[in-house]
Amino acid sequence: MSPSRIPCWFVPLILSVTILASTAAYGGHHHLSVSYYDKSCPSAQSIVQAVMASRVAADQAIAPAVLRLFFHDCFVNGCDASVLLDDATPFVESEKDAKPNDSLRGFDVIDEIKSHLEHSCPATVSCADILALASRDAVALLGGPTWNVQLGRKDSRGADRDAAENDLPSPHENVTSLITKFAEYGLDARDMAALSGAHTVGTARCLHYKDRVYGNDGEGGADMDPSFAELRRRTCQAGDDAAVPFDEQTPMRFDNAYYKDLVARRGLLTSDQALYGCGGPLDHLVEMYSKDGKAFVKDFARAMVKMGSIPPPPGMPVEVRLKCSMVNY
């Protein structure tokens, strides 16, 4: 059986098994608070918002890039800004060098925000909190929801390239694997379905969707609209780096079009379409989000707060970095 295919009857079983794991895996950062910087750096949020607004106005693609940075950070040993560390840091194998991270961008935006914050509030605001705030603002700047960000994260003094290679959800994963990986970080199937909606903005390279559009017979699978498969095969003729938007209709608007595409069997990645087609709770969620944009953005905001509370492993050395790409000495 192909790793991207599982029998649909198996999904409810996986959901029932992993729901316990998702409620027990992580208790979150007990010290996080919306008002964490109210006294120590009251201008923190306005500084982040100003830089993000300026950068997104110049290049809208910065918004999904920063949002992706936050996802890739939190899914490797928690939300600790480890994804920002360079190889130049002694004894650190940078997560930037892991294959799933080879197309990450937006690091310069985080560095710019950090520079402004160090000028206003030296050694106070962590890079992990900058990522959390910038991600919220990225979504809002594309017309999506906003939410209160819990603050007080600390930055790790190390990175984990191996975990970045193995722990991040792959674009080729089936629904069983996706549910299991999200549950490992305390995120349930509803969180997974809502967070996947981040793919309503941004792009993907042919390298990551060609398995879906070609399939085993070169024509795409039964769960893919044939005309969409043909369209994307033509894109792939330009090579593995050929990028297309997840959502053709509103590629830079944070809306519920992603779910409409899934219902129409026009999900770009295998891991996108895996959310729809087996019946049961996940199908119901996708259908609900496709019809009710307000329900989607409400669940997305709630799931972002939940994901943003994933802590580093117990005992990991942490600090507030003075420069996001390197540890303090």
Is position 196 annotated in a ligand binding site? no
Is position 100 annotated in a ligand binding site? no
Q: Is 4 exposed, middle or buried (0-12, 13-18, 19+ CB in 10 A)?
A: buried
Beta carbons of 135 and 62 less than 8 angstroms apart: no
Is position 200 annotated in a ligand binding site? yes
Over the range 286-322, which residues count as b (16 or more CB within 10 Å of their CB) and which as e? beebbeebeebbebbbebbbbbbbbbbeeebebebbe
Is position 290 annotated in a ligand binding site? no
Is position 217 annotated in a ligand binding site? no
Is position 199 annotated in a ligand binding site? yes
119 as an active site residue: the answer is no
CA-nearest of 243, 253, 254, 270 to 103 is 243
Question: What is the sign, positive or negative, of the torsion defined by CA atoms of 96, 100, 102, 108?
Answer: negative
d(CA 215, CA 182): 26
Is position 239 annotated in a ligand binding site? no
Is position 102 annotated in a ligand binding site? no
Residues 252, 257, 259: CA angle, nearest 5 degrees = 135
Is position 78 annotated in a ligand binding site? yes
* Bridge partners, 245 (sequence order): 203
The active-site residue out of 29, 30, 31, 72 is 72
Beta carbons of 74 and 315 less than 8 angstroms apart: no
Binding-site members for Ca(2+) are 73, 76, 78, 80, 82, 95, 200, 247, 250, 255
| Residue numbers belonging to the annotated binding site | 73, 76, 78, 80, 82, 95, 169, 199-200, 247, 250, 255
Binding positions for substrate are 169
Active site residues: 72
